[in-house]
Amino acid sequence: MWEQRAHNAENKPPQIIYRSSPRGVPQSAPPPQQPEAPARDPDTIYQLGDAVATVQGADIDRGKGMISFENVYTHGDLNVEMQFEYRDYLMHFVSKQREIDATVAGQKNIRYMGVICQIMGKRN
């Protein structure tokens, strides 16, 4: 920013006029906008921002604060002891009816069946 002093005939102190930028000096560019977060798959469980499992057969019971899943599939990235995100919910595992582990071509696969989870709140 630069200033220009304007004098007047009445011997008053000079008036300072501020200008946003002198001619020929480029204005600074507006700050870059933050990129939007990519859309999340509604049938995916996330932990620490990463997709760690997919689900099938979700049944949301907001009155009881519970969500059940027929199946939850993961490659071992899902930590059932940690809180996780599903859609707009923060949740944690309560129980499962059955778990099947299999390794195919070096890839670990886990299928949880009859999963019950408690809603802890809404995610930001």
pLDDT band at 124 (very low <50, low <70, confident <90, very high): confident
Q: 3-class secondary structure for the chain?
A: CEEEEECCCCCCCCEEEEECCCCCCCCCCCCCCCCCCCCCCCCEEEECCEEEEEEEEEEEECCCCEEEEEEEEECCCCCCCCCEEECCEEEEEEECCEEEEEEECCEEEEEEEEEEEEEEEECC
Is residue 90 in a domain?
yes
- The amino acid at residue 7 is H
Overall residue count recorded for the chain in this entry: 124
Is residue 58 in a domain?
yes
Rounded Cα distance, 22 and 60, in Å: 61
For position 10, what pLDDT does the model report?
63
Tens of pLDDT, residue by residue over 108-122, are 999 999 999 999 999
Is residue 38 in a domain?
no
Name the CA dihedral angle for 7, 10, 13, 19, rounded to a multiple of 10 degrees. -30
Domain containing 59 equals: 44-122
For position 86, what pLDDT does the model report?
97
Is residue 24 in a domain?
no
pLDDT band at 33 (very low <50, low <70, confident <90, very high): confident
Percent of the chain clearing pLDDT 90 (strictly above): 66
Percent of the chain clearing pLDDT 70 (strictly above): 75
Is residue 28 in a domain?
no
Is residue 105 in a domain?
yes
Q: What sign does the dihedral 71-77-80-86 (CA atoms) show?
A: negative
Is residue 67 in a domain?
yes
Number of domains present in the structure of the chain:
1
Question: pTM above the 0.75 mark?
Answer: no
Is residue 34 in a domain?
no
Residue 26 corresponds to which tokens in the numbers above? 């480029």
pLDDT band at 55 (very low <50, low <70, confident <90, very high): very high
